[in-house]
Amino acid sequence: MTSPPLPARLSVVVPCFNERANVAPLVARLEAALAGIAWEAVFVDDNSPDGTAAAARAIAARDPRIRCLRRIGRRGLSSAVIEGALSSSAEFVAVIDGDMQHDETRLPLMLTRLAAGEGDIAIGTRYAKGGDAGGLAGGFRQRLSRLGIAFAQLFLPSPVSDPMSGFFMMRREHFEEIAPRLAGSGFKILLDLLFNARPPLKVIEIPYEFRARAFGESKLDALVLAQFAGLLIDRVLHGAVPLRFIAFSGVGLVGVIANLAALAAGRALGLGFSPAQAIATVIAMVVNFQLNNSLTYRDQRLRGARLWRGLALFLLFCGIGAVADLGIARTLYEDHNSLTVSGAAGAIVAVVWNYAISATLVWRTR
C-alpha cells in the first residue's frame, strides 16, 4: 500500500498566456530551486492560442505537484493570480511569472524569512540594492515603471521599492482574508493586495535580477499605465464607482476633445456648422469605440467580424444617445436658460446611456 504524497507547504501560482515554450523549463527550474521543500505549482492559463494549457497539463499528467487551471473566455493577470491562489491550500502562496523573468532561486529565502515571522509578505524587488531592472525591455518601459512606482508610493502605508512586482510570497491566511476586497481587474495584483490589507502587511524586500525574456513576448504595454491610473482613482473613490465606468468616462472625455478638434477643423475648411458637427460626432464616436475596445474592454477586445459588428452597434446606439443628448440639453436650456446645467445634464445622460449600451450590447460578456 502506498501512502498519499505529503501536502504542499508552498503553492506557486504561475499566471501564463502564450508561454508554451516556457512551461517545461520553468518546472525544471522550480524543481531545482525548491529541492527539500514540499511544493506544488498551479499554471493559470487563459486559454492561450499557443497551447500553453496543453503543455502544462502534459506535465501535470505525470507530476502530481503540477496543476493546470485553464480559463475560457477570460483574460487578466490579476484574476488569474487570485483564482490560482484560491484553488490551492498550502500554508504559503507564491506568485511568479511564467516567462522565467523572475528569479525562482529566491523562493526558498522568501519562505525562510516568512516562516521566521519577519514579515507578512516577501516581495521580489528589481530596485532595491542588489536588484536589477535590466530585463525590462526598452527605456520607455523603465521610465513608465518608475513613474508608476513614484505614484503608487503616495498611496502606500509604508514604502515598497517595487510595488508593481509580480513576484512575491505570502501566508495563505492573509491572502484569503484580503481576497474578497480585491478589484481583480488589470495587472497590478500586488498593489491591489497592499492597498486592501487591513492592517497593512509588513513587507520583506528580496532583491533579484529581472531576466530578459528567452521565449515569447510581453503582453504588458503603455496601456497598463492607464489601468494603473484607474486603480489609483478607485482607491481614492473607495470603490464607489466601477473602474470600467471611470475608464469609459475618461475615454468619453477624449472623445469630446476629438469632437471639438474635428469641428474646428471642419469649420476651418469652410463646412457649415451642422455638417461639420455631424462629421465631428461620427469621428468622435469612432475614436471612442477604438479606445474603449483597446482600453476599457481590453479583456474582451473585439476583433475581425465582431469588431465591425460592434462598431456598427456602437455608432447606431451612441448616435441615438447623441441626438437624445442634444434634445435634453435644448429642453433644459429652454427651461433654465443655463448652458452649463443643460450641457452637463445632457452629457451625464449620454455617458450613462452609452455605458449601458456598451456593457450590454457591444462588449457583452460571453
79 vs 342, which CB is nearer to Mg ion? Answer: 79
15 vs 131, which CB is nearer to ligand GDP? Answer: 15
The whole-angstrom separation of Cα 303 and Cα 242 is 25
CB 215 within 8 A of CB 22: yes
Q: Which does 53 bind (CB under 5 to 8 A by kind): Mg ion, ligand GDP, none?
A: none
- Taken in order 168, 173, 174, 176, the sign of the CA dihedral is positive
Q: At its nearest, how many Å lie between Mg ion and the CB of residue 94?
A: 16
166 vs 252, which CB is nearer to Mg ion? Answer: 166
Q: At its nearest, how many Å lie between ligand GDP and the CB of residue 73?
A: 12
CB 141 within 8 A of CB 101: no
User: Minimal CA–CA distance to 183: which of 199, 174, 195?
Assistant: 195
Q: Which does 45 bind (CB under 5 to 8 A by kind): Mg ion, ligand GDP, none?
A: ligand GDP
CB 91 within 8 A of CB 8: no
DSSP run (H or E) holding 216: none
CB 34 within 8 A of CB 65: no
Binding mask 125-144 for ligand GDP (x = CB under 6 A): --------------------
45 near ligand GDP (CB under 6 A): yes
76 near ligand GDP (CB under 6 A): yes
Q: Which residues bind Mg ion (CB under 5 A)?
A: 97, 99, 101
Please select the residue that binds ligand GDP; options are 11, 88, 101, 296, rule is CB under 6 A: 101
Residues binding ligand GDP: what is the number (CB under 6 A)? 19
The whole-angstrom separation of Cα 236 and Cα 229 is 11
Please select the residue that binds ligand GDP; options are 8, 11, 12, 98, rule is CB under 6 A: 98
Q: Give me the residues paired with residue 207 across strands.
A: 125
79 vs 354, which CB is nearer to Mg ion? Answer: 79
255 near ligand GDP (CB under 6 A): no
220 near ligand GDP (CB under 6 A): yes
Which residue of this chain has its Cβ atom nearest to ligand GDP in the complex? 218
The side-by-side arrangement of strands in the sheet containing 10-16 is 66-70, 39-45, 10-16, 92-95, 168-171, 121-125, 203-207
Q: Which does 324 bind (CB under 5 to 8 A by kind): ligand GDP, Mg ion, none?
A: none
Question: Which 160-219 residues touch ligand GDP, going by CB under 6 A?
Answer: 166, 218-219
User: Minimal CA–CA distance to 295: which of 234, 363, 346?
Assistant: 363
Please select the residue that binds ligand GDP; options are 42, 77, 231, 328, rule is CB under 6 A: 77
- Residue whose C-alpha cell is 481587474: 185
215 vs 308, which CB is nearer to Mg ion? Answer: 215
**Piece of the chain touching ligand GDP by CB under 6 A; list 40-48, 257-265, 338-346, 350-358:** 40-48
97 near ligand GDP (CB under 6 A): yes
User: Minimal CA–CA distance to 185: which of 365, 1, 2?
Assistant: 365
Q: Which runs of E-coded beta strand occur in the chain? A: 10-16, 39-45, 66-70, 92-95, 121-125, 168-171, 203-207
Positions in the binding site for ligand GDP (CB under 6 A)? 15-17, 19, 44-46, 75-77, 80, 97-99, 101, 166, 218-220
